Amino acid sequence: MATKKSPITKDKIVSMYMNYRLENNEKPKSVYQFAKTNGFDETEFYSFFGTLESIEKEIFKMFLEKTVELIQKAPGYEAYDMESKMLSFYFTFFELLSANRSYVVMSLKEHQNQLKNLMQLSSLRIGFKNYITEIMTDEVRTQHEKFQNFQEKAIQESSWIQFLLTMKFWLEDESAAFEKTDIYIEKSVKLSFELMNIAPIDSLIDFGKFIFKEKIHTK
């Protein structure tokens, strides 16, 4: 009796794609070749994705969705203030990245043109900005209106830039267990919130010293 073939799912396709790239050190030549190599029909692929490139965007989006899922299960999460939620998000997200570091590094360093690499993060960017809006408290909104007249989009964009800078630091981090990235996260998130509260001097100096020290040691 023939063994019943297990159905193809979005998660399975993503896993197959990541494994293919890591094992072959290149992208599949076509959807047809990718499907045939992994033993399923090309038509099944199109039930979930339109192109191979759309898988790459989905991977980073899935990292974000898994991060949010995990941190929301943490005891007391709903009572966290915005800064604590942000720290929890960062640490969990970069733990997931570290668990998949070989793929992420290969993917984000594929092109000399960084803009091409960043295109993979378009879905992640949308999801990240939505998360920022979700955790933005009324207190933060009031402070921004009162002191700096920042709008919600300005906070989203500045947070996204900070997030990209953290990814860049993590990609270049050679410390054991990426402990320097943990320090970077703590200092940069603290600084960003103190900047919101217009009390940044101590954190700015502390963060500046850390970055300066890292640049000196890497030269």
Rg (CA), the chain: 20
DSSP state of 178: G
- Of 24-28, 59-63, 117-121, 151-155, the one with minimum mean pLDDT is 151-155
Taking each helix axis from N to C terminus, what angle separates 52-72 and 10-24, rounded to the nearest 10 degrees? Answer: 110
- Give the separation between CA 219 and CA 217, rounded to whole angstroms: 6
Instruction: Write the pLDDT tens digit of every residue in 131-140.
Output: 998 998 655 6
Q: Which of 197, 184, 118 is nearest to 155 (CA)?
A: 197
| Helix spans in the chain (H) | 10-24, 31-37, 42-45, 52-72, 82-99, 101-108, 114-118, 122-135, 138-143, 152-172, 179-196, 201-218
Instruction: Write the pLDDT tens digit of every residue in 65-101.
Output: 999 999 999 999 999 999 999 999 999 999 999 999 9
Instruction: Write the pLDDT tens digit of every residue in 169-186.
Output: 999 999 999 999 999 999
Average pLDDT value for the chain: 85
Q: Which of 165, 189, 176, 175 is nearest to 218 (CA)?
A: 175
3 or 25, which is more confident? 25
Instruction: Write the pLDDT tens digit of every residue in 104-113.
Output: 999 998 877 7
- Give the separation between CA 83 and CA 159, rounded to whole angstroms: 12
153 or 45, which is more confident? 45
CA-CA-CA-CA dihedral for 55, 107, 155, 152, to nearest 10: -10
pLDDT higher than 70, residue 167: yes
pTM (2 d.p.): 0.84
DSSP state of 64: H
| Residue whose token pair is 């990426």 | 178
Q: What is the pLDDT of residue 12?
A: 96
Q: What is the pLDDT of residue 14?
A: 97
| Residue whose token pair is 């030269």 | 219
Neighbours of 174 (CB within 10 A): 7
